[in-house]
Amino acid sequence: MTPVLKKSYKKQYPFRLGTTSFIYADHYLPNIKKLGPFLDEIELLVFESRDYKKTLTRSIIAELVELSATLDFSYNIHLPINLFLGDHDPSKRRMAVATFKNIIDWVAPLNPTTYTLHLERQFDLDQPAEFEIWKQRTFDSLRRLLDLGVDSQSLSVETLDYPITWIDKIIRELDLRVCIDMGHLFFHGFDFKQVIDLYLPLTTIIHLHGVTKTHDHLALDKLSPKKAALAAAVLNNFHETLSLEIFNYENLDKSLATLETWPLKFRNEFAL
């Protein structure tokens, strides 16, 4: 028998609590139907750009809209990770801009809280000249995307495997928003406090998952007490979306149980 969560976490915390649409080894609809009754938000993963109209047909999107209304939850969209706005090939950059715009238009009926965007680096970390060229190409592509009518504040740029401060100019000049992936910050050893201080006011979604020295996207019980305390302190001052970015039921179940042991405020507490 397929396991389901044992209790509802809706409206429990000051932030919207969610997880990914890939908890069960199945398609979107079965995942949403099992998760929607228990969580505030679902992170709809659209990782591949090629067949999104086949995996998210108009009829499936209509059913997802209905499930959101009936079960009282929202969506956020994780945009594809195989499109490169900073690609050295101008035709691939143009294709990436057009595809992102098409996907955003296609899933717009879901009324997502944000679209999470990977600005994947195509440069060596020890090659600052390469980085500057990539950054300019990425800035120009994003500008074209916004010129097509995409709302800058609907895009949340995710913290990846390079310091997000390196693209601070892109974020602020284009008025973008941020996805702080705490797991990535811990995994890559970045300055956690610096990122929180600089970008939490711009953050519409936080990704959280457990990490070890060699793996990330694990259950939250894999976080050290120090890392867990850092994450909890941030969440007690955060009121947008927290997505537990993990990809199977066992890790989700463990993560939700772990979250309940953290010294977090409850929503009714926050309202007092």
Q: Is residue 204 part of a domain?
A: yes
Q: Which domain holds residue 119?
A: 16-271
Question: Could you report the per-residue pLDDT of 31-84, keeping only the tens digit for each?
Answer: 999 999 999 999 999 988 889 999 999 999 999 999 999 999 999 999 999 999
Residue 124's pLDDT is what? Answer: 82
Q: Does pLDDT of 270 surpass 80?
A: no
How far apart, in Å, are the Cα atoms of 24 and each of 3, 42, 139, 249?
A: 9, 13, 36, 6
Question: Could you report the per-residue pLDDT of 227-243, keeping only the tens digit for each?
Answer: 999 999 999 999 999 99
Residue 257's pLDDT is what? Answer: 98
Residue 198's pLDDT is what? Answer: 98
Residue where the block lists tokens 């772990």: 258
How far apart, in Å, are the Cα atoms of 50 and each of 17, 21, 32, 47, 128?
A: 29, 18, 22, 10, 32
Residue whose C-alpha is closest to residue 221's, from 250, 193, 241, 242 = 250
Q: Is residue 245 part of a domain?
A: yes
Pick the more confident residue, 122 or 154. Answer: 154
Q: Residue 253 maps to which CATH number?
A: 3.20.20.150
Tell me which amino acid residue 25 is: A
Q: What is the mean pLDDT of the chain?
A: 96
CA-derived radius of gyration, the chain: 18
Residue 37's pLDDT is what? Answer: 98
Q: Is residue 3 part of a domain?
A: no
Tell me which amino acid residue 91 is: S
Provide the percentage of residues in the chain whose pLDDT is more than 90: 90
Residue 126's pLDDT is what? Answer: 84
Q: Does pLDDT of 212 surpass 70?
A: yes
The mean per-residue pLDDT over the stretch 113-117 comes to: 98
Residue 269's pLDDT is what? Answer: 62
Q: Is residue 5 part of a domain?
A: no
Confidence of residue 271 (pLDDT cuts 50, 70, 90): very low
What is the number of domains present in the chain? 1
Q: Is residue 9 part of a domain?
A: no
The mean per-residue pLDDT over the stretch 74-98 comes to: 97
Q: Is residue 194 part of a domain?
A: yes
Q: Is residue 103 part of a domain?
A: yes
Among 24-38, 112-126, 140-154, 183-197, the range scoring the smallest mean pLDDT is 112-126
Rounded Cα distance, 218 and 181, in Å: 13
pTM above 0.95, yes or no: yes
